[in-house]
Amino acid sequence: MTEMELYDLWCSNVSGEPDLLEELKSIKGDKEAINDRFYRDLEFGTGGLRGVIGAGSNRMNVFTIRRATQGFADYLNQEYKNPSVAISFDSRIKSDIFSKAAAEVLAANGIKVHIYKELMPTPCLSFAVRQLKCQGGIMVTASHNPAKYNGYKVYGEDGCQITLRGAEIVLEKINSHDYFTGIKSSSFDEELAKGNISYIGDDVIEAFYQNVLNEGINTDLCASSGLKVVYTPLNGTGNKPVREILKRIGISDVTIVKEQENPDGHFTTCPYPNPEIREALEVGLRYCNEVKPDLLLATDPDCDRVGIAVPDGKGGYALFSGNEVGAMLLEYICEQRIKKGTMPKNPVAVKTIVTTDIASLIAKEYGVEIINVLTGFKFIGEQIGLLEEKGEENRYIFGFEESYGYLSGAYVRDKDAVNASMLICEMAAYYRTQGISLIQARENMYKKYGVFYQTLYSFEFDGESGMKRMNEIMSDIRTNPFDSIGGLKVVKFEDYKQSTSKDIATGKVTELTLPKSNVLAFYLEGGCKAIIRPSGTEPKIKTYLTAKASTHDEAAAIEQKLYGDFTKCMK
Protein backbone atom coordinates (compact mmCIF):
# COMPACT_ATOMS: atom_id res chain seq x y z
CA MET A 1 0.00 0.00 0.00
CA THR A 2 1.03 3.58 -0.57
CA GLU A 3 1.34 5.99 2.35
CA MET A 4 -1.94 7.66 1.29
CA GLU A 5 -3.76 4.32 1.11
CA LEU A 6 -2.51 3.45 4.59
CA TYR A 7 -3.62 6.85 5.82
CA ASP A 8 -7.15 6.24 4.49
CA LEU A 9 -7.19 2.75 6.01
CA TRP A 10 -6.26 4.08 9.43
CA CYS A 11 -8.84 6.88 9.20
CA SER A 12 -11.48 4.20 8.67
CA ASN A 13 -10.37 1.99 11.57
CA VAL A 14 -9.36 4.15 14.54
CA SER A 15 -12.74 5.58 15.49
CA GLY A 16 -12.46 3.86 18.88
CA GLU A 17 -9.42 6.05 19.66
CA PRO A 18 -10.67 9.66 19.31
CA ASP A 19 -7.27 11.28 19.85
CA LEU A 20 -5.72 9.25 17.02
CA LEU A 21 -8.61 10.03 14.67
CA GLU A 22 -8.35 13.73 15.48
CA GLU A 23 -4.62 13.67 14.73
CA LEU A 24 -5.19 11.97 11.39
CA LYS A 25 -7.89 14.49 10.45
CA SER A 26 -5.56 17.36 11.34
CA ILE A 27 -2.95 16.26 8.76
CA LYS A 28 -5.36 15.67 5.88
CA GLY A 29 -3.71 16.85 2.68
CA ASP A 30 -0.29 17.25 4.31
CA LYS A 31 1.79 14.78 2.30
CA GLU A 32 4.93 15.24 4.38
CA ALA A 33 3.15 14.62 7.69
CA ILE A 34 1.31 11.61 6.27
CA ASN A 35 4.49 10.16 4.81
CA ASP A 36 6.33 10.53 8.13
CA ARG A 37 3.63 8.52 9.91
CA PHE A 38 3.23 5.80 7.28
CA TYR A 39 6.43 5.42 5.26
CA ARG A 40 7.38 2.40 7.40
CA ASP A 41 6.24 0.22 10.27
CA LEU A 42 7.75 1.26 13.58
CA GLU A 43 10.84 -0.93 13.68
CA PHE A 44 10.83 -3.92 16.03
CA GLY A 45 14.49 -4.18 16.94
CA THR A 46 16.25 -6.54 19.30
CA GLY A 47 14.84 -4.65 22.28
CA GLY A 48 11.31 -4.07 20.97
CA LEU A 49 9.65 -0.85 19.82
CA ARG A 50 10.43 2.80 20.44
CA GLY A 51 9.01 5.87 18.75
CA VAL A 52 6.99 9.06 18.90
CA ILE A 53 3.51 8.70 20.40
CA GLY A 54 0.78 9.30 17.83
CA ALA A 55 -1.25 7.93 14.93
CA GLY A 56 0.19 5.77 12.17
CA SER A 57 2.31 2.70 11.56
CA ASN A 58 5.48 4.65 12.40
CA ARG A 59 4.15 5.79 15.78
CA MET A 60 3.57 4.36 19.25
CA ASN A 61 -0.16 3.76 19.75
CA VAL A 62 -2.50 0.99 20.90
CA PHE A 63 -2.60 -0.50 17.40
CA THR A 64 1.17 -0.85 17.07
CA ILE A 65 1.25 -2.20 20.64
CA ARG A 66 -1.48 -4.76 19.96
CA ARG A 67 0.13 -5.91 16.71
CA ALA A 68 3.55 -6.32 18.37
CA THR A 69 1.97 -8.17 21.29
CA GLN A 70 0.10 -10.51 18.97
CA GLY A 71 3.42 -11.40 17.36
CA PHE A 72 4.98 -11.94 20.79
CA ALA A 73 2.00 -14.08 21.82
CA ASP A 74 2.33 -16.21 18.68
CA TYR A 75 6.01 -16.73 19.48
CA LEU A 76 5.37 -17.69 23.10
CA ASN A 77 2.59 -20.13 22.22
CA GLN A 78 4.86 -21.70 19.59
CA GLU A 79 7.83 -22.06 21.94
CA TYR A 80 6.16 -22.91 25.28
CA LYS A 81 3.26 -24.80 26.77
CA ASN A 82 0.99 -22.58 28.92
CA PRO A 83 3.30 -19.54 28.90
CA SER A 84 3.01 -16.56 31.22
CA VAL A 85 4.25 -12.97 30.93
CA ALA A 86 5.11 -10.24 33.45
CA ILE A 87 4.35 -6.61 32.56
CA SER A 88 5.54 -3.32 34.02
CA PHE A 89 5.32 0.30 32.89
CA ASP A 90 6.85 3.67 33.69
CA SER A 91 5.50 7.21 34.04
CA ARG A 92 5.42 8.09 30.36
CA ILE A 93 2.35 9.30 28.51
CA LYS A 94 0.03 6.34 27.83
CA SER A 95 2.38 3.80 29.46
CA ASP A 96 -0.48 2.50 31.62
CA ILE A 97 -2.80 2.32 28.60
CA PHE A 98 -0.21 0.50 26.49
CA SER A 99 0.54 -2.00 29.25
CA LYS A 100 -3.15 -2.85 29.60
CA ALA A 101 -3.52 -3.16 25.82
CA ALA A 102 -0.63 -5.66 25.80
CA ALA A 103 -2.19 -7.59 28.69
CA GLU A 104 -5.53 -7.79 26.86
CA VAL A 105 -3.91 -9.30 23.76
CA LEU A 106 -1.87 -11.82 25.75
CA ALA A 107 -4.87 -12.94 27.81
CA ALA A 108 -6.98 -13.33 24.67
CA ASN A 109 -4.26 -15.63 23.33
CA GLY A 110 -4.44 -17.86 26.41
CA ILE A 111 -1.31 -16.45 28.05
CA LYS A 112 -1.33 -15.79 31.79
CA VAL A 113 -0.43 -12.19 32.65
CA HIS A 114 1.20 -10.84 35.83
CA ILE A 115 1.15 -7.04 35.89
CA TYR A 116 2.29 -4.52 38.49
CA LYS A 117 -0.47 -2.45 40.12
CA GLU A 118 1.48 0.75 39.60
CA LEU A 119 4.47 1.98 37.68
CA MET A 120 7.66 0.08 38.54
CA PRO A 121 11.28 0.20 37.34
CA THR A 122 12.69 -1.88 34.51
CA PRO A 123 14.82 -4.03 36.88
CA CYS A 124 11.63 -4.92 38.79
CA LEU A 125 10.21 -6.27 35.53
CA SER A 126 13.31 -8.39 34.94
CA PHE A 127 13.09 -9.62 38.53
CA ALA A 128 9.37 -10.49 38.24
CA VAL A 129 9.99 -12.57 35.10
CA ARG A 130 12.50 -14.69 37.00
CA GLN A 131 10.72 -14.73 40.36
CA LEU A 132 7.36 -15.75 38.88
CA LYS A 133 8.99 -18.16 36.42
CA CYS A 134 7.45 -16.43 33.42
CA GLN A 135 8.39 -17.18 29.84
CA GLY A 136 8.43 -13.53 28.83
CA GLY A 137 8.19 -9.95 29.96
CA ILE A 138 7.11 -6.57 28.64
CA MET A 139 8.33 -3.19 29.90
CA VAL A 140 6.50 -0.15 28.55
CA THR A 141 9.10 2.63 28.56
CA ALA A 142 11.19 4.84 26.34
CA SER A 143 13.88 5.05 28.98
CA HIS A 144 15.44 8.53 28.91
CA ASN A 145 13.95 9.83 25.63
CA PRO A 146 11.99 13.10 25.47
CA ALA A 147 8.33 13.18 26.50
CA LYS A 148 6.97 12.66 22.99
CA TYR A 149 8.42 9.13 22.92
CA ASN A 150 7.29 5.84 24.37
CA GLY A 151 8.50 2.29 23.89
CA TYR A 152 7.94 -1.39 24.47
CA LYS A 153 10.78 -3.69 25.54
CA VAL A 154 10.43 -7.46 25.31
CA TYR A 155 12.12 -9.91 27.68
CA GLY A 156 12.80 -13.64 27.60
CA GLU A 157 12.36 -16.20 30.36
CA ASP A 158 15.87 -15.50 31.69
CA GLY A 159 14.94 -11.90 32.53
CA CYS A 160 17.16 -10.52 29.75
CA GLN A 161 15.84 -8.58 26.82
CA ILE A 162 14.85 -11.08 24.16
CA THR A 163 17.61 -12.85 22.21
CA LEU A 164 18.49 -12.05 18.60
CA ARG A 165 16.91 -15.33 17.51
CA GLY A 166 13.78 -14.66 19.53
CA ALA A 167 13.48 -11.13 18.18
CA GLU A 168 13.73 -12.41 14.60
CA ILE A 169 10.93 -14.91 15.18
CA VAL A 170 8.73 -12.32 16.92
CA LEU A 171 9.29 -9.89 14.03
CA GLU A 172 8.29 -12.59 11.54
CA LYS A 173 5.11 -13.23 13.54
CA ILE A 174 4.34 -9.50 13.77
CA ASN A 175 4.72 -9.08 10.02
CA SER A 176 2.14 -11.80 9.41
CA HIS A 177 -0.55 -9.54 10.92
CA ASP A 178 -2.03 -6.25 9.82
CA TYR A 179 -3.08 -3.64 12.35
CA PHE A 180 -6.83 -4.12 12.37
CA THR A 181 -7.69 -7.78 11.67
CA GLY A 182 -6.51 -11.08 13.09
CA ILE A 183 -5.39 -9.59 16.39
CA LYS A 184 -7.02 -11.12 19.43
CA SER A 185 -7.94 -8.83 22.31
CA SER A 186 -10.23 -8.89 25.31
CA SER A 187 -11.41 -6.81 28.25
CA PHE A 188 -8.78 -6.16 30.93
CA ASP A 189 -11.34 -6.11 33.74
CA GLU A 190 -13.04 -9.30 32.54
CA GLU A 191 -9.74 -11.15 32.27
CA LEU A 192 -8.75 -9.84 35.70
CA ALA A 193 -11.98 -11.22 37.15
CA LYS A 194 -11.34 -14.59 35.50
CA GLY A 195 -7.82 -14.74 36.92
CA ASN A 196 -6.16 -14.72 33.50
CA ILE A 197 -4.65 -11.38 34.46
CA SER A 198 -3.41 -10.88 38.02
CA TYR A 199 -1.58 -8.14 39.86
CA ILE A 200 1.96 -8.76 41.05
CA GLY A 201 1.95 -8.88 44.84
CA ASP A 202 3.95 -7.03 47.47
CA ASP A 203 5.84 -10.26 48.21
CA VAL A 204 7.61 -9.98 44.84
CA ILE A 205 8.52 -6.34 45.50
CA GLU A 206 9.87 -7.25 48.94
CA ALA A 207 11.90 -10.10 47.46
CA PHE A 208 13.42 -7.61 45.02
CA TYR A 209 14.37 -5.29 47.87
CA GLN A 210 16.01 -8.15 49.78
CA ASN A 211 18.07 -9.12 46.75
CA VAL A 212 19.23 -5.54 46.31
CA LEU A 213 20.17 -5.28 49.99
CA ASN A 214 22.14 -8.52 49.76
CA GLU A 215 24.55 -6.74 47.39
CA GLY A 216 25.66 -4.31 50.09
CA ILE A 217 29.23 -4.53 51.37
CA ASN A 218 29.57 -1.76 53.95
CA THR A 219 25.95 -0.78 54.48
CA ASP A 220 26.49 -0.96 58.25
CA LEU A 221 28.57 2.22 57.97
CA CYS A 222 25.90 4.26 56.20
CA ALA A 223 23.76 5.32 59.17
CA SER A 224 26.67 6.84 61.09
CA SER A 225 28.53 8.26 58.09
CA GLY A 226 26.67 11.57 58.04
CA LEU A 227 26.17 11.30 54.28
CA LYS A 228 23.82 13.96 52.91
CA VAL A 229 22.00 13.24 49.62
CA VAL A 230 19.77 15.14 47.19
CA TYR A 231 17.71 12.73 45.08
CA THR A 232 15.56 13.20 41.99
CA PRO A 233 13.63 10.41 40.25
CA LEU A 234 13.13 12.77 37.26
CA ASN A 235 9.35 12.25 37.50
CA GLY A 236 9.80 8.52 36.95
CA THR A 237 9.60 5.15 38.67
CA GLY A 238 12.53 5.44 41.07
CA ASN A 239 10.83 7.55 43.73
CA LYS A 240 9.50 4.74 45.94
CA PRO A 241 12.09 1.94 45.51
CA VAL A 242 15.21 4.12 45.67
CA ARG A 243 13.98 5.99 48.74
CA GLU A 244 13.00 2.72 50.39
CA ILE A 245 16.43 1.17 49.84
CA LEU A 246 18.27 4.26 51.05
CA LYS A 247 16.11 4.29 54.18
CA ARG A 248 16.83 0.62 54.85
CA ILE A 249 20.61 1.08 54.68
CA GLY A 250 20.44 4.06 57.02
CA ILE A 251 20.80 7.00 54.64
CA SER A 252 18.27 9.27 56.32
CA ASP A 253 19.41 12.76 55.27
CA VAL A 254 17.80 12.68 51.83
CA THR A 255 16.30 15.78 50.22
CA ILE A 256 13.88 15.06 47.38
CA VAL A 257 13.63 17.39 44.39
CA LYS A 258 9.93 18.19 44.76
CA GLU A 259 9.40 19.39 41.18
CA GLN A 260 10.55 15.97 39.93
CA GLU A 261 9.25 13.74 42.71
CA ASN A 262 5.94 12.48 41.33
CA PRO A 263 5.27 10.65 38.06
CA ASP A 264 4.79 13.03 35.13
CA GLY A 265 5.26 11.87 31.56
CA HIS A 266 5.46 15.45 30.31
CA PHE A 267 8.79 15.99 32.15
CA THR A 268 8.13 19.72 32.30
CA THR A 269 11.27 20.52 34.31
CA CYS A 270 13.62 18.27 32.33
CA PRO A 271 12.52 17.98 28.67
CA TYR A 272 15.21 15.37 28.07
CA PRO A 273 15.06 13.20 31.24
CA ASN A 274 18.46 11.64 30.78
CA PRO A 275 20.83 11.66 33.77
CA GLU A 276 23.73 11.55 31.31
CA ILE A 277 23.23 15.24 30.49
CA ARG A 278 23.50 18.29 32.70
CA GLU A 279 20.14 19.73 31.58
CA ALA A 280 18.24 16.93 33.33
CA LEU A 281 20.09 17.64 36.59
CA GLU A 282 19.72 21.42 36.60
CA VAL A 283 16.82 21.53 39.08
CA GLY A 284 18.62 19.09 41.36
CA LEU A 285 21.79 21.16 41.15
CA ARG A 286 19.85 24.23 42.30
CA TYR A 287 18.84 22.21 45.37
CA CYS A 288 22.51 21.34 45.88
CA ASN A 289 23.43 25.00 46.04
CA GLU A 290 21.07 25.35 49.01
CA VAL A 291 21.34 21.96 50.74
CA LYS A 292 25.09 21.41 50.17
CA PRO A 293 24.88 17.59 49.98
CA ASP A 294 27.73 15.14 49.55
CA LEU A 295 25.96 13.68 46.54
CA LEU A 296 23.25 14.42 43.97
CA LEU A 297 21.56 11.23 42.75
CA ALA A 298 19.31 11.17 39.65
CA THR A 299 17.56 8.11 38.19
CA ASP A 300 15.94 8.10 34.75
CA PRO A 301 12.18 7.50 34.20
CA ASP A 302 12.35 3.69 34.19
CA CYS A 303 15.04 3.68 36.90
CA ASP A 304 17.61 1.55 35.17
CA ARG A 305 20.21 4.35 34.88
CA VAL A 306 21.58 6.69 37.51
CA GLY A 307 23.70 9.82 37.28
CA ILE A 308 25.50 11.71 40.02
CA ALA A 309 27.07 15.05 40.84
CA VAL A 310 29.45 15.72 43.74
CA PRO A 311 31.06 18.79 45.36
CA ASP A 312 33.98 19.86 43.17
CA GLY A 313 35.93 21.51 46.01
CA LYS A 314 35.48 24.93 44.39
CA GLY A 315 31.97 25.72 45.60
CA GLY A 316 30.17 23.98 42.74
CA TYR A 317 29.18 20.46 41.72
CA ALA A 318 30.88 18.20 39.18
CA LEU A 319 28.98 15.63 37.14
CA PHE A 320 30.61 12.22 36.87
CA SER A 321 30.34 10.20 33.67
CA GLY A 322 28.96 6.69 33.55
CA ASN A 323 32.45 5.44 32.76
CA GLU A 324 33.85 7.13 35.86
CA VAL A 325 31.14 5.91 38.23
CA GLY A 326 31.31 2.39 36.83
CA ALA A 327 35.09 2.24 37.15
CA MET A 328 34.97 3.62 40.69
CA LEU A 329 32.31 1.11 41.70
CA LEU A 330 34.32 -1.73 40.17
CA GLU A 331 37.41 -0.77 42.16
CA TYR A 332 35.39 -0.23 45.34
CA ILE A 333 33.70 -3.63 45.02
CA CYS A 334 36.97 -5.42 44.26
CA GLU A 335 38.93 -3.77 47.05
CA GLN A 336 36.23 -4.15 49.70
CA ARG A 337 35.20 -7.71 48.83
CA ILE A 338 38.83 -8.81 49.06
CA LYS A 339 39.16 -6.94 52.35
CA LYS A 340 35.97 -8.55 53.69
CA GLY A 341 36.90 -12.01 52.42
CA THR A 342 33.80 -12.22 50.21
CA MET A 343 35.48 -12.15 46.80
CA PRO A 344 34.56 -15.35 44.92
CA LYS A 345 37.12 -17.60 43.31
CA ASN A 346 37.82 -16.60 39.70
CA PRO A 347 35.69 -13.42 39.82
CA VAL A 348 34.21 -11.98 36.63
CA ALA A 349 33.27 -8.44 35.64
CA VAL A 350 31.55 -7.56 32.36
CA LYS A 351 31.49 -4.37 30.31
CA THR A 352 30.48 -3.33 26.80
CA ILE A 353 33.00 -2.64 24.05
CA VAL A 354 32.25 1.10 24.15
CA THR A 355 32.87 1.29 27.90
CA THR A 356 36.10 2.61 29.43
CA ASP A 357 39.24 0.54 29.13
CA ILE A 358 40.35 1.64 32.59
CA ALA A 359 38.12 -1.20 33.77
CA SER A 360 40.55 -3.70 32.28
CA LEU A 361 43.42 -2.21 34.31
CA ILE A 362 41.35 -2.27 37.50
CA ALA A 363 40.30 -5.87 36.88
CA LYS A 364 43.92 -6.89 36.31
CA GLU A 365 44.97 -5.17 39.56
CA TYR A 366 42.54 -7.29 41.59
CA GLY A 367 42.74 -10.56 39.67
CA VAL A 368 39.33 -10.23 38.06
CA GLU A 369 38.51 -11.60 34.61
CA ILE A 370 37.04 -8.87 32.39
CA ILE A 371 34.63 -9.84 29.60
CA ASN A 372 33.80 -7.43 26.78
CA VAL A 373 30.41 -7.67 25.08
CA LEU A 374 28.44 -5.77 22.43
CA THR A 375 26.59 -2.58 23.34
CA GLY A 376 23.40 -3.29 25.27
CA PHE A 377 23.01 -4.50 28.82
CA LYS A 378 21.28 -7.67 27.65
CA PHE A 379 24.68 -8.93 26.56
CA ILE A 380 25.94 -8.42 30.11
CA GLY A 381 22.89 -10.29 31.36
CA GLU A 382 23.65 -13.03 28.85
CA GLN A 383 27.09 -13.53 30.39
CA ILE A 384 25.51 -13.89 33.84
CA GLY A 385 23.19 -16.50 32.36
CA LEU A 386 26.12 -18.45 30.90
CA LEU A 387 27.72 -18.51 34.33
CA GLU A 388 24.42 -19.60 35.87
CA GLU A 389 24.20 -22.53 33.46
CA LYS A 390 27.46 -23.80 34.97
CA GLY A 391 26.32 -23.07 38.52
CA GLU A 392 28.89 -20.27 38.73
CA GLU A 393 26.73 -17.12 38.81
CA ASN A 394 28.39 -16.12 42.09
CA ARG A 395 31.60 -15.46 40.12
CA TYR A 396 29.90 -12.39 38.65
CA ILE A 397 30.70 -9.35 40.77
CA PHE A 398 29.83 -6.36 38.58
CA GLY A 399 28.79 -5.25 35.12
CA PHE A 400 28.43 -1.80 33.64
CA GLU A 401 28.11 0.27 30.49
CA GLU A 402 29.14 3.83 29.76
CA SER A 403 25.51 4.95 29.47
CA TYR A 404 25.07 4.97 33.27
CA GLY A 405 23.89 1.38 33.68
CA TYR A 406 25.26 -0.80 36.50
CA LEU A 407 24.49 -4.11 38.20
CA SER A 408 26.32 -6.00 40.95
CA GLY A 409 24.10 -9.06 41.40
CA ALA A 410 22.69 -11.96 39.40
CA TYR A 411 19.10 -11.53 40.66
CA VAL A 412 18.10 -9.49 37.57
CA ARG A 413 19.45 -9.45 34.03
CA ASP A 414 19.17 -5.76 33.25
CA LYS A 415 20.83 -2.65 34.62
CA ASP A 416 19.40 -1.63 37.98
CA ALA A 417 19.47 1.95 39.27
CA VAL A 418 17.99 0.85 42.61
CA ASN A 419 21.00 -1.40 43.17
CA ALA A 420 23.37 1.22 41.75
CA SER A 421 21.93 4.02 43.90
CA MET A 422 22.53 1.92 46.99
CA LEU A 423 26.11 1.07 45.96
CA ILE A 424 26.97 4.67 45.06
CA CYS A 425 25.65 5.94 48.39
CA GLU A 426 27.44 3.15 50.25
CA MET A 427 30.68 3.90 48.44
CA ALA A 428 30.33 7.63 49.19
CA ALA A 429 29.54 6.87 52.85
CA TYR A 430 32.53 4.57 53.15
CA TYR A 431 34.94 7.10 51.64
CA ARG A 432 33.45 9.80 53.84
CA THR A 433 34.34 7.76 56.93
CA GLN A 434 37.89 7.60 55.55
CA GLY A 435 38.03 11.36 55.06
CA ILE A 436 37.95 11.00 51.27
CA SER A 437 35.47 12.80 49.01
CA LEU A 438 34.25 11.21 45.78
CA ILE A 439 36.13 13.82 43.77
CA GLN A 440 39.31 12.80 45.61
CA ALA A 441 38.54 9.11 45.07
CA ARG A 442 38.24 9.75 41.34
CA GLU A 443 41.56 11.58 41.25
CA ASN A 444 43.20 8.75 43.18
CA MET A 445 41.94 6.30 40.55
CA TYR A 446 43.34 8.40 37.71
CA LYS A 447 46.71 8.79 39.42
CA LYS A 448 46.88 5.02 39.75
CA TYR A 449 45.74 4.01 36.25
CA GLY A 450 46.08 7.13 34.08
CA VAL A 451 43.40 9.53 32.85
CA PHE A 452 40.84 8.03 30.49
CA TYR A 453 38.72 10.85 29.08
CA GLN A 454 35.62 9.49 27.34
CA THR A 455 32.90 11.35 25.51
CA LEU A 456 29.81 10.36 23.54
CA TYR A 457 28.47 12.42 20.65
CA SER A 458 25.15 11.68 18.98
CA PHE A 459 24.60 12.95 15.44
CA GLU A 460 20.89 13.07 14.60
CA PHE A 461 19.36 12.14 11.23
CA ASP A 462 15.58 12.55 11.30
CA GLY A 463 13.01 11.17 8.89
CA GLU A 464 13.32 8.87 5.89
CA SER A 465 16.12 10.92 4.31
CA GLY A 466 17.98 10.88 7.61
CA MET A 467 17.91 7.09 7.79
CA LYS A 468 19.29 6.94 4.26
CA ARG A 469 22.11 9.34 5.15
CA MET A 470 23.01 7.31 8.25
CA ASN A 471 23.42 4.20 6.12
CA GLU A 472 25.55 6.11 3.60
CA ILE A 473 27.89 7.42 6.31
CA MET A 474 28.41 3.99 7.88
CA SER A 475 29.00 2.45 4.46
CA ASP A 476 31.48 5.16 3.45
CA ILE A 477 33.55 4.80 6.63
CA ARG A 478 33.45 1.00 6.39
CA THR A 479 34.65 1.07 2.79
CA ASN A 480 37.22 3.81 3.31
CA PRO A 481 38.33 3.56 6.94
CA PHE A 482 40.38 6.35 8.55
CA ASP A 483 44.16 5.96 8.62
CA SER A 484 44.39 8.63 11.32
CA ILE A 485 42.00 10.55 13.57
CA GLY A 486 42.85 13.79 15.32
CA GLY A 487 46.46 13.45 14.20
CA LEU A 488 46.83 10.02 15.79
CA LYS A 489 47.55 7.00 13.61
CA VAL A 490 45.09 4.12 13.52
CA VAL A 491 46.89 0.98 14.73
CA LYS A 492 43.91 -1.40 14.58
CA PHE A 493 40.56 -1.32 12.80
CA GLU A 494 37.64 -3.56 13.80
CA ASP A 495 34.45 -4.07 11.83
CA TYR A 496 31.90 -5.94 13.91
CA LYS A 497 29.53 -6.31 10.97
CA GLN A 498 32.21 -8.16 9.01
CA SER A 499 33.63 -9.78 12.20
CA THR A 500 37.15 -8.66 11.30
CA SER A 501 40.01 -7.10 13.23
CA LYS A 502 42.91 -5.72 11.18
CA ASP A 503 46.34 -4.87 12.56
CA ILE A 504 47.36 -1.89 10.43
CA ALA A 505 51.13 -2.34 10.86
CA THR A 506 51.21 -5.99 9.80
CA GLY A 507 48.03 -6.15 7.74
CA LYS A 508 47.03 -9.29 9.63
CA VAL A 509 43.27 -9.86 9.84
CA THR A 510 41.74 -11.94 12.63
CA GLU A 511 38.16 -12.94 13.29
CA LEU A 512 36.05 -11.25 15.98
CA THR A 513 34.06 -13.74 18.05
CA LEU A 514 31.22 -11.43 19.15
CA PRO A 515 27.91 -11.49 17.23
CA LYS A 516 27.75 -9.38 14.07
CA SER A 517 26.79 -5.77 14.72
CA ASN A 518 26.97 -2.50 12.79
CA VAL A 519 29.92 -1.17 14.79
CA LEU A 520 33.27 0.23 13.64
CA ALA A 521 36.19 0.60 16.08
CA PHE A 522 39.43 2.51 15.51
CA TYR A 523 42.28 1.90 17.97
CA LEU A 524 44.75 4.77 17.93
CA GLU A 525 48.31 5.22 19.10
CA GLY A 526 48.74 6.14 22.75
CA GLY A 527 45.77 4.06 23.92
CA CYS A 528 43.14 6.36 22.39
CA LYS A 529 40.08 4.99 20.61
CA ALA A 530 37.03 5.90 18.53
CA ILE A 531 33.95 3.71 18.06
CA ILE A 532 30.93 4.54 15.92
CA ARG A 533 27.59 2.82 15.56
CA PRO A 534 24.02 3.72 14.60
CA SER A 535 21.61 3.73 17.53
CA GLY A 536 19.27 0.76 17.71
CA THR A 537 16.41 2.86 19.06
CA GLU A 538 16.85 6.40 17.73
CA PRO A 539 17.75 8.07 14.39
CA LYS A 540 21.31 8.78 15.50
CA ILE A 541 24.88 7.77 14.85
CA LYS A 542 26.73 7.50 18.14
CA THR A 543 30.43 8.25 18.38
CA TYR A 544 32.39 7.12 21.44
CA LEU A 545 35.76 8.78 21.88
CA THR A 546 38.52 7.84 24.33
CA ALA A 547 41.54 10.05 24.96
CA LYS A 548 44.23 8.70 27.27
CA ALA A 549 46.89 10.90 28.85
CA SER A 550 48.67 11.59 32.11
CA THR A 551 46.53 14.62 32.98
CA HIS A 552 42.90 15.62 32.45
CA ASP A 553 43.81 18.74 30.43
CA GLU A 554 46.04 16.78 28.08
CA ALA A 555 43.35 14.16 27.54
CA ALA A 556 40.66 16.82 26.93
CA ALA A 557 42.85 18.50 24.29
CA ILE A 558 43.34 15.18 22.47
CA GLU A 559 39.60 14.46 22.64
CA GLN A 560 38.78 17.76 20.94
CA LYS A 561 41.05 16.88 18.04
CA LEU A 562 39.33 13.50 17.69
CA TYR A 563 35.93 15.15 17.76
CA GLY A 564 36.94 17.69 15.13
CA ASP A 565 37.59 14.94 12.59
CA PHE A 566 34.27 13.23 13.21
CA THR A 567 32.18 16.36 12.76
CA LYS A 568 33.46 16.59 9.19
CA CYS A 569 32.05 13.23 8.13
CA MET A 570 28.69 13.45 9.95
CA LYS A 571 27.06 15.88 7.54
- Torsion sign (Cα): 266, 267, 269, 272: negative
Q: How many degrees, rounded to 5, is the angle at CA 404 between CA 115 and CA 362?
A: 125
Tell me how far CA of residue 369 lies from CA of 322, 334, 345, 349, 374, in angstroms.
21, 12, 11, 6, 17
Distance of CA 386 to the CA centre of its chain: 21
Give the closest residue to 304 by CA, choosing from 375, 211, 401.
Answer: 401
Residue 517: partners with Cβ closer than 8 Å, 6 or more residues away: 374, 375, 496, 497, 533
For residue 393, the 8-state DSSP code is G
- For the chain, how far is it from start to end, CA to CA, in angstroms? 32
User: Phi, psi at residue 532, to the nearest 5°?
Assistant: -130, 145
Instruction: Please pick, among 91, 95, 143, 185, the residue that the annotation labels catalytic.
Output: 143
133 φ, ψ (degrees, to nearest 5): 55, 45
**What whole-number distance in Å separates Cα of residue 560 and Cα of residue 553?**
11
Q: Is 501 a catalytic residue?
A: no
Burial, 277: exposed, middle or buried (Cβ in 10 Å; 0-12, 13-18, 19+)?
A: middle
Residue 526 CA to residue 523 CA, distance in Å, equals 9
Choose among 62, 67, 64, 45: nearest CA to 154. 45
**Distance between CA atoms of residues 44 and 60, nearest Å:** 11
Cα 200 to Cα 53: distance, rounded to the nearest angstrom = 27
Q: What letter represents residue 17's amino acid?
A: E
Q: How wide is the angle at C-alpha 266 spanned by C-alphas 51 and 32, nearest 5°?
A: 40
d(CA 253, CA 11): 54
Q: For residue 116, how many other CB atoms are within 10 A of its CB?
A: 21
Distance CA 89, CA 121 (A): 7
C-beta separation of 509 from 351 below 8 A: no
**Cα(126)–Cα(402) distance, integer angstroms:** 21
Strands 229-232 and 254-256: parallel
Q: Please name the residues in contact with 269: beta carbons below 8 A apart, sequence gap of 6 or more.
A: 235, 259, 260, 283
Q: Count Cβ neighbours within 10 Å for each residue of 484-516 and write b for 16 or more, e otherwise.
A: ebbebebebbbbbeeeebbeeeeeeeeebeeee
Catalytic residue set: 143
